[in-house]
Each structure stands twice: as C-alpha cells, then as structure tokens.
Amino acid sequence: MKSKIIVENIRVPIAVQDGEILEIARKRLKQNAVSFIPDSLHIHRKSVDARRRGKIAFVCSVLAYSEEDAKQLPSLQNIKVRQEESFSLPMGEEVLPGRPVVVGFGPAGIFCALLLAQAGLCPLILERGGDVAKRTDAVEKFTSLGQLNLQSNIQFGAGGAGTFSDGKLTTRIGDSKCGFILQTLHRLGAPEDILWRAKPHVGTDILRTVVDNADREIRRLGGEIRYMTKAEAMGDGWIAADGEKMACGPVILATGHSARDTYAYLMEAGYAVEPKPFSVGVRAEHLQEELDAALYGDAQLAQRLGHGEYQMSWRRGQRGVYTFCMCPGGEVVAAASETGGVVTNGMSRHDRNGKNGNAAVAVSVLPEDFGNSPVGAIQFQRALEQAAFAAGGGDYSAPCQSVGNFYVGKPGGFGERILPSYSNGRVRAADFNVLLPPFICDMLKEGLHRFSGKIAGYDAPDVPLTGIETRTSAPVRILRNDNLTAIGRNLVYPCGEGAGYAGGIMSAAADGIRVALAILSRFRRDI
C-alpha cells in the first residue's frame, strides 16, 4: 500500500509560482533522504498569511506518494508520513428488512444516499422541495415578488440550504472522510482547487450543477428521488409521505435545520429531542474593495489572492459573538421558510464578484435563554422572525439599520455608499434594539466595536445591518444511540445538521457518510 508524504510549512512570497513550490518540496525530501515517487508531487494546501501587510505570503504544503510502507519512512519536522487510507464499503450480517429511505436531499442526505446506492441498496430519497431548476425559480420569485413557496425555498429543496450559500467547504471536525468528500464533489463538477485551497468554496452557481450531477449519479446507481414529497411520519419499518404509508427498511432523517414541522412531529411521537445552543444576529455588509484593502493593505492584491475574507470572535463568560458564513463579493438573501417570518442568510457565486462582502454577526443563545426546552428553542427563533417580518412592513422586506444608529438606538440610517443587497434592496428602516433581546444587542455592539480593531472601518457608522439571522444551526438535537439509531427506535437514523450532529456542508456530508457506513456495517446487501 502506498504511503502519503506531506511536506508542510513551505512559506513563499505571493509572486512564487506552483512549480517553484513543488521544487522546494522536492529538495526537502531529497535532503532528508525520504523516498518518494518523482512525479507524484502536487499542491496539498495553500493559504494566504496576511498578518504582516508588507510581507504577505503563501503558506503551502505539498503531497507526495511513496511505494514504501509508512513505517519504513522517517517522520521529520515539517515532513509527515501517513499510510494511505482506503475507503471500502463494509457488509454486516443482519437481513436488511427493506429499501432504505433517505428523508432530505441536502449534504447529509446526498452523501448517505450516494454510499447506499454504490453498495447496491437502491435508496429512495424523499425531498419536500423541488429539484434545482424548480427550486431556483421559486427562490427567484420570492426574491423579486415576495411570493414564498413553503415547500421549495432557500431552506428546502435539492442540495439543502447550502445550495444557496457561498458553498464553503471548510470544517474543524478533522475527519478523515473530508478528503473523500472533496474528491467526490470535484468528480461531480466542483472546481479542482477545492482539493488544495485552505479555504475552499464552490459558490451557489456551481453548487447547483454539483447537486444536479449527484441526482443523476444516484439514479444511475439504482436510487430513486421524489421531489415535492414531504415525509409526514415514520417509524421502524415504515414511512408516510403525502398521505401514503410505505413499508421500508432504515429511515435516514436528514431534514436540515429548518424542518420545524418534522421536529414537532418527532416530539409528539415520543422521540428523544433536546435543546441545544444556537446563535442569533444580523448581516453586516461592507464594500468588498474596502475589505480587501483592510485585509491585504492593497485592494489590488485581491486579483491574485482572491477577495479577502475574515472570521472573528470574542467571548464574555459563557456568551460569545462571532462572524459566521462570510460571503466575499456576495449578497444577503431572503431565507424564510414559514409564512410571516423574515430570515437572512448570505450567498455568493464562485467568482465572488459582487460589490459587497457580508457576514452574519451572531451572538450565542443558550438553553437557559429560552426555558431549556426544544419547544422553547424553536419558539425563540420564530418569535424573532415574526417580529422582523412586522418591522419590515409585512411583505418580506427586511429590517435594516446602520451601525451608527444601532449604537444610539435610532432607526434606519443606512445610506447610499453601501447599499443593502437583501432582495434587491427591499429593506425598511428599523431599530434592532427594539427587535432583539438586550443580551443580544449588548454583545452585538461589543463585537462590532472589537472587530473594528482587527479590520479598520468594520463598525463605520454607515455600515448596514440587515436581519434577522436565526438559522445558524439547528436549535435541537434528535438523540441517537452508539449505533446511530434514534433513542427507542431500531431503524430510524437521525443524521446531519438538522438532527444536531453537524454544522455546514462538510460536517453534514461527513455525518451522512457515517450513518451510511453504520447501516452497511449492520446489514447484508442481498435484498
């Protein structure tokens, strides 16, 4: 079996080309007498270090392969040796009682279904929203006309909430499945650079193609996908959807973090559901050119380094405020999925060529803030969304306020220099000091002020804040056993972000793989 060799911490000026980076790695390997296959070297990771404005650099790692066993190769400082991992599909001993059903076609559902289909189990996928084309039409109609489709929108439909996002593929989970996920996404149409960028992203425009290709691949392998089909009830060996009750095998619940009706059903049916922390805040928008200048010292460097992006946080005791889902050159989007509520999110295309950059500035909400109950968690989110709807005029326009006015408690204040991008500018002057609880407002103000110490002008008086951002993560967790089945259920598998076990595309996909492997390890494939 081949070994992987990673040459780390190669720091070079930004003018250096990839070929020169590979040559540096080649020399290091030879100097340390590490055996490698000469033509196997390629860029493994590449990030920008902009901490010193006059000395911005690339920090890279290079991956090579060796025919020798990892145990026979030296592991040195900045040269790491690992055995290449193989990804195989296991087979269990239990008789599979029926066809597996995957509820939801977001990242968790897609990757779970892909593996089950590759193993020959012909999964059935039930997705309450539309396919990519129909869902895109519904989203565009909502953006332009305020006509909300309750089943097919930014939260529900092919690809899940991630389809209409920046498509970030960063994660902190450190799971070995991440390489497989990136390779699969690339095979399905994502750009090759996701394989080596330290902060890879796909963009909503390319993600839609990736999701379409995943649909085709699952069908090619014998799977079936039913769009606009909402799962209404389920148990061990059965599922009901659109009034039809069907016998089935394992049920994989990968509904996403906004399926509140599913949460309500599960609690009524006696599933073990607990509240979990989440975050609430607003979207802050800045001119991307100014962000590039603040982050790089020269806005022109964005042409070579890509548009600047940031991630900042600050904590006071148990409460934190942080930036979330930063979208360089993106837009703030209308992300409601219920009548009478306003929800914001961020989205950008692959080239990130929009005028504004935006990010959620969110404050942690703890279980004690909403009565330490799952019902209270959902109601906390919903009440804020309904208040935002009323403040926006009742037509899905969003409340908006400048940072300067937010500091002093005066509605509106956003001007012409930085135009709010939500739904083509459909915003109304409001005061978040009235809409949000005091503990959130206090932390938002503290966070905006502190973040301006890291990025000059971050809390400039005319920076627009648009809200409300409530869907940062699932408000509840559907408890599961060590074998990943739901507590008290033998064939129901809570999965992904909606079940409370992931946060973002990569970790949700990884949990989908984890559940698929648990099923394949348990059951035989001869159905």
| CATH number of the domain where residue 78 is located | 3.30.1660
**The total number of structural domains that make up the chain:** 3
284 within 8 A of 359, measured Cβ to Cβ = yes
Residue 375 has pLDDT above 90, yes or no: yes
Cα 496 from Cα 509, distance rounded (Å): 7
One-letter-per-residue 3-state SS of 340-356:
CCCCEEEECCCCCCCCE
- Say whether both 499 and 412 belong to one domain: no
- Angle at the Cα of 155 (from 150 to 157), degrees rounded to 5? 80
| pLDDT band of 88, cuts 50, 70, 90 | confident
Which one-letter DSSP state was computed for residue 485? Answer: P
Q: Determine, yes or no, domain membership for 93.
A: no
Residue 74 has pLDDT above 80, yes or no: no
Q: Report the CATH number at residue 195.
A: 3.50.50.60
- The answer to whether residue 473 scores a pLDDT higher than 80 is yes
pLDDT of residue 441: 98
Strands 231-235 and 273-275: unpaired
Q: Percent of the chain scored above 90 by pLDDT?
A: 89
User: Is residue 71 domain-shared with residue 133, that is, in the same domain?
Assistant: no
Model confidence pLDDT, tens digit, residues 387-424: 999 999 999 999 999 999 999 999 999 988 999 999 99
Report the percentage of the chain scoring pLDDT > 70.
98
pLDDT at 82: 82
Of 432, 451, 469, which marks where a domain is finished?
469
Residues 449 and 345 in one domain: yes
Q: How many C-beta atoms surround the C-beta of residue 25 within 10 A?
A: 26
* Tens of pLDDT, residues 203-213: 999 999 999 99
CB 391 within 8 A of CB 430: yes
Paired strand residues for 234: 239
**Do 216 and 351 reside in the same domain of the chain?**
no
- Domain check: are 383 and 312 in the same one? yes
- Residue 252 covered by a domain: yes
Residue 145 shares a structural domain with residue 196: yes
Same domain? 324 vs 448: yes
Model confidence over 300-320: pLDDT tens digits? 999 889 999 999 999 999 999
Domain span at 187: 101-274+474-522
Give the number of residues written for the chain. Answer: 527
- Distances in Å between the Cα of 95 and the Cα atoms of 53, 91, 115, 251 are 62, 11, 18, 15
Per residue in 427-461, pLDDT tens? Answer: 999 999 999 999 999 999 999 999 999 999 999 99
Per-residue model confidence (pLDDT) at position 174 = 64
Residues 6+ apart with CB under 8 A from 50: 56, 295, 296, 297, 305, 308
In a domain, 464, yes or no: yes
Same domain? For 387 and 307 the reply is yes
Does 506 reside within a domain? yes
| Contact (Cβ atoms closer than 8 angstroms) between residue 215 and residue 160 | no
> Does residue 341 sit in the same domain as residue 196?
no
Strand order in the sheet with 57-66: 42-49, 57-66, 3-13, 79-83
Residue 89 forms part of a structural domain: no
Same domain, 270 and 281: no
Confidence bin at 175 (pLDDT 50/70/90): low
* Amino acid present at 384: L
**Is residue 227 in a domain?**
yes
Mean pLDDT of the chain: 95
Residues 96-153 pLDDT 10s: 999 999 999 999 999 999 999 999 999 999 999 999 999 999 999 999 999 999 999 9
Confidence (pTM)? 0.94
pLDDT at site 108? 98
Same domain, residue pair 66 and 186: no
Task: Tell me the per-residue pLDDT of 234-255, one tens digit each, with 9 for 90 and over.
Answer: 999 999 999 899 999 999 999 9
Rounded CA separation 281/322 (Å): 9
* Alpha helix ranges (H) inside 172-321: 177-187, 204-220, 260-268, 288-296, 302-305
| Beta bridge partners of residue 480, listed in sequence order | 486
In this structure, the dihedral spanned by the alpha carbons of residues 239, 489, 505 and 192, taken in order and rounded to 10 degrees, is -80
Helix 132-145 / helix 204-220 crossing angle, nearest 10 deg: 150
pLDDT at 526: 73
Task: Verify that 129 and 264 share a domain, yes or no.
Answer: yes
